C-alpha cells in the first residue's frame, strides 16, 4: 500500500506526502498576534502558532494554493518560500504570484489538470469548483479552487484526495465525484468565516453536508480556529457529523501532528 499522509501545520497549511511526492498546501506562516490581510480593507489577527517555519519545511515538489488570501498565502510565504517551486492555483492568483517572482506559478481553470511523475508514480492535480462567497459576498473574496490530487501507483488502485479550498457548500459539488471518481480522503476547510456578517467558508452544517454529498471514506478538518473571523468551531463539526450519523471516518489532527489518508488506516480517528 502506498504511503499517504497529512501533516497539519495550521490554518489550511498542510504537508501532504503522497507516495514519492511532497505537497505544501495554502502556506500560512504568520505568528500569533500578527494580522493577515483579507482584501477589501479587511484584516484578521492570528490566534495560533504554526507548527513549522518555512525554513523547517521538508523538500517540496509543489505548492497547491486554493486562492490568494492572507491566511492562505501570507507575507512570510511570499518572502521565504523558494520562488522556483511549482505553485498551482487559480489563474488570477498565478498571475499575481508570477509578478512576485514565483516563476513557475501556473493557473488552472476549473476541471483543468496537470501531472507529475516520479519513481513509477503519477500524480495528477485537477482544479475543481469552489465558491468562496454567494450573492454580495462574492465581491469581498477572490476566486477559489478546490483540488483533487490523484496518485497512481504501479502496484495499487488510484488514491484520490480532495482539498476543498475555502468553498461554501453547494449541491453542484457533486460534479467532483461524478467527473473525478470516488474520493478516498477529503481535507475540509471549515471555520464558518464571517465578513460583514456574511459567511464565506463552510460552517459545521455545511461541512457535514459536503461529506454526505461526496461520501469520502476519510475526512480531515482544517481551517477552524486560527483567526478571529472563524466562527464555527471544530467541536461543532464533530458533533454535527455524529448526530447525523455521517459515515465518513473523521480524523482530527492537531498542529504538528500527522495522520494517514489511507481509508483502511485506523489511527488518528475520532
Question: What domains sit in the chain, N to C, each tagged with a CATH number?
Answer: 4-254 (3.60.15.10)
Give me the chain's average pLDDT, please: 93
pLDDT tens per residue across span 232-263: 999 999 999 999 999 999 999 999 999 999 98
Instruction: Give residue 269's pLDDT.
Output: 42
Lowest mean pLDDT among 31-40, 65-74, 202-211, 236-245: 31-40
Per-residue confidence (pLDDT) for residue 144, from 0 to 100:
95
Contacts of 205 (CB under 8 A, 6+ apart): 240
pLDDT higher than threshold 50 for residue 265? no
* Lowest pLDDT segment from 85-94, 195-204, 218-227: 195-204
**pTM, full prediction:** 0.94
- The percent of residues above 90 in pLDDT, for the chain, comes to 84
Give the C-alpha separation, 77 to 256, whole Å: 18
pLDDT at position 157 is 87
**CA–CA distance, 145 with 265 (Å, rounded to integer):** 28
What pLDDT sits at residue 267? 43
pLDDT tens digits, one per residue of 136-188? 666 667 899 999 999 999 988 899 999 999 999 999 999 999 999 999 999 99
> Quick one: CA dihedral 181, 223, 95, 60, positive or negative?
negative
| pLDDT for residue 139 | 66
Cell representation of residue 139: 465581491
The reported pLDDT for the residue numbered 232 is 97
**pLDDT attached to residue 268:** 42
Amino acid at each position: 500500500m502506498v504511503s499517504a499522509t497529512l501533516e497539519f501545520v495550521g490554518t489550511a497549511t498542510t504537508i501532504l506526502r503522497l507516495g514519492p511526492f511532497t505537497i505544501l498546501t495554502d502556506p500560512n506562516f504568520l505568528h500569533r498576534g500578527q494580522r493577515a490581510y483579507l482584501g477589501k480593507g479587511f484584516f484578521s489577527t492570528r490566534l495560533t502558532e504554526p507548527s513549522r517555519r518555512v525554513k523547517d519545511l521538508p523538500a517540496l515538489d509543489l505548492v497547491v494554493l486554493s486562492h490568494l488570501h492572507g491566511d492562505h498565502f501570507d507575507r512570510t510565504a511570499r518572502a521565504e518560500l523558494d520562488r522556483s517551486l511549482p505553485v498551482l492555483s487559480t489563474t488570477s492568483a498565478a498571475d499575481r504570484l508570477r509578478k512576485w517572482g514565483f516563476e513557475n506559478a501556473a493557473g488552472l481553470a476549473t476541471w483543468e489538470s496537470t501531472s507529475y511523475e516520479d519513481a513509477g508514480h503519477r500524480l495528477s492535480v485537477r482544479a475543481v469548483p469552489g465558491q468562496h462567497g454567494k450573492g454580495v459576498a462574492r465581491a469581498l473574496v477572490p476566486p477559489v479552487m478546490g483540488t483533487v490530487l490523484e496518485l497512481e501507483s504501479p502496484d495499487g488502485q488510484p488514491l484520490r484526495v480532495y482539498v476543498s479550498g475555502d468553498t461554501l457548500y453547494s449541491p453542484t459539488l457533486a460534479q467532483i465525484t461524478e467527473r473525478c471518481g470516488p474520493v478516498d480522503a477529503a481535507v475540509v476547510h471549515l471555520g464558518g468565516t464571517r465578513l460583514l456578517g456574511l459567511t464565506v467558508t463552510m460552517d459545521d452544517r455545511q461541512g457535514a453536508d459536503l461529506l454526505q454529498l461526496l461520501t469520502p471514506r476519510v475526512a480531515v478538518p482544517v481551517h477552524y480556529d486560527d483567526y478571529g473571523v472563524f466562527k464555527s468551531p471544530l467541536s461543532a463539526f464533530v458533533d454535527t457529523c455524529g448526530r447525523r450519523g455521517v459515515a465518513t471516518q473523521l480524523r482530527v489532527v492537531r498542529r504538528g501532528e500527522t495522520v494517514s489518508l489511507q481509508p483502511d488506516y485506523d489511527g488518528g480517528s475520532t
